[in-house]
Homo-oligomer: A and B are copies of this chain.
């Protein structure tokens, strides 16, 4: 399948075209299901002025936290950013801008971006600071806020398995924001644990069809655990 072989062999190729001041959407929840190698590559590329859309901003020294070390992120769109001392420092000093977005609204904004829906009404945030300056409207006696969708120049996604055509399967809760990110990037790059041949993934159970995926790279993952909690 010549035209559908999305596999690239190195990170240079994977992130070709990603430059300063772009908007990058990154899958993951905390450190779970993040494209570790692609984030690492963004660090070594030294690109700056990034707007990152991701539910969280990593921790000191891992995940998107790596990009904070050299102040590569200009603006963060996220729902929760409290795991990171460097983040706090740059936020308070004004070096970093944050647009806090409720988690469900963030997920839906990403889905809407990929789905060609520019805006939708949600009950989330009505009557709170999140709704300030936004249009509100009543439906069936309840108040809703109009929220606009999000897209990105690049979407960086972590999946479990891909076939060479970019069909994806995620694993357990490492799915999280990855499927929506995959649909919302002008260029979508997926880092996976395993690449298989077309036909090896059950068509009935593909989470993300290859139509959304531009590049696939096989990564190696540390999968750092943020909160190790064990049964006593």
Contact = CB atoms under 8 A, between A and B. Distances in A.
Interface of A: 108, 112, 115-123, 137, 139-140, 142, 144, 148, 169-172, 202-205
A141 to B, nearest CB: 11
A213 to B, nearest CB: 19
A119 B116 contact: no
Contacts of A137: 119
A137 to B, nearest CB: 8
20 contacts: A108-B115, A108-B117, A112-B120, A116-B123, A117-B120, A117-B121, A118-B121, A118-B140, A118-B144, A119-B120, A119-B137, A119-B139, A119-B144, A120-B120, A169-B204, A171-B204, A172-B203, A172-B204, A202-B205, A204-B205
Contacts of A139: 118-119, 148
A151 B194 CA distance: 40
A193 to B, nearest CB: 14
Contacts of A117: 108, 120-122
Nearest to A138: B118
A70 to B, nearest CB: 32
A116 B143 CA distance: 12
A121 B119 contact: yes
A172 B204 CA distance: 6
A15 to B, nearest CB: 26
A205 B139 CA distance: 35
A40 B15 CA distance: 55
A137 B120 CA distance: 12
A123 to B, nearest CB: 6
A137 B135 CA distance: 13
Given A139-B148, A171-B204, A172-B204, A122 B116 contact: yes
A71 to B, nearest CB: 30
Given A117-B122, A118-B121, 9 more contacts: A108-B117, A117-B121, A118-B140, A119-B120, A119-B144, A120-B121, A169-B204, A202-B205, A205-B205
